[in-house]
């Protein structure tokens, strides 16, 4: 029994991985424009390995003196007619970044997601119903990162040609947004057997030392 408790304790510690950035679409730039998040806006993201998603960082435009407070989020297989893996509403924590002219601030906003286990692959993060304390609109900064973007107000997926015309950043021509997907990589099953054997040996050595 003592050996079993020892194994479980060490196993829990070994499988605990600090949350980090699973996908990075690049920072906000404040250079071109932004998508209004009062309508649904979705960006794709790719997970290189099975992962537990726990939150996201967004680079947003807000009116100076206003504060981004809440949003609705979804993780989807596709913005249109796909599978919804998880969804909900979340409070937003925001830190000031910089001023864009006299009209907007470019801020970094973070929100938490109840842990969602996803396989390796490509998914979509959809944001909508973003609200601020003064009732002003909140916008998702366009940084032209590698993701694709889908926007309700524009009628669907944004093509490179329309992106070049609307937000001429002169790089990837994707019109996607500044964001990061947060979480931790799930342990692969193939690693658990040797890990368990190693922990069993460690527990045996500990008991022998105590005795």
Domains for the chain: give ranges and CATH numbers.
18-186 (2.60.120)
pLDDT tens profile 108-118: 999 999 999 99
pLDDT tens profile 49-74: 999 999 999 999 999 989 999 999 99
Who has greater pLDDT, 122 or 12? 122
d(CA 9, CA 5): 6
CB 149 within 8 A of CB 16: no
> Would you place residue 170 in the very low, low, confident or very high pLDDT band (cuts 50, 70, 90)?
low
């Amino acid at each position: 029994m003592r050996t079993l408790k020892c194994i479980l304790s060490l196993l829990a510690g070994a499988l605990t991985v600090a949350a980090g950035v699973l996908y990075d679409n690049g920072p906000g730039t404040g250079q071109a424009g932004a998508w209004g998040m009062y309508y649904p806006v979705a960006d794709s993201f790719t997970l290189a390995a099975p992962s537990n998603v726990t939150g996201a960082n967004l680079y947003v435009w807000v009116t100076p003196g206003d504060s981004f407070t809440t949003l609705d989020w979804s993780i989807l297989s596709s913005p249109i007619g796909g599978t919804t893996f998880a969804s909900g509403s979340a409070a937003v924590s925001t830190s000031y970044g910089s001023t864009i002219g006299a009209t907007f601030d470019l801020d970094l906003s973070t929100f938490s997601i109840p842990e969602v286990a996803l396989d390796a692959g490509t998914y979509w993060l959809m944001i909508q119903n973003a609200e601020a304390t003064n009732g002003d609109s909140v916008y998702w900064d366009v940084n032209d990162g590698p993701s694709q973007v889908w926007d309700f107000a524009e009628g669907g997926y944004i093509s490179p040609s329309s992106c070049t015309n609307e937000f001429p950043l002169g790089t990837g021509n994707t019109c996607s947004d500044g964001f990061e997907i947060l979480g931790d990589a799930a342990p692969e099953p193939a690693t658990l057997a040797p890990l368990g054997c190693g922990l069993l040996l460690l527990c045996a050595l500990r008991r022998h030392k105590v005795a």
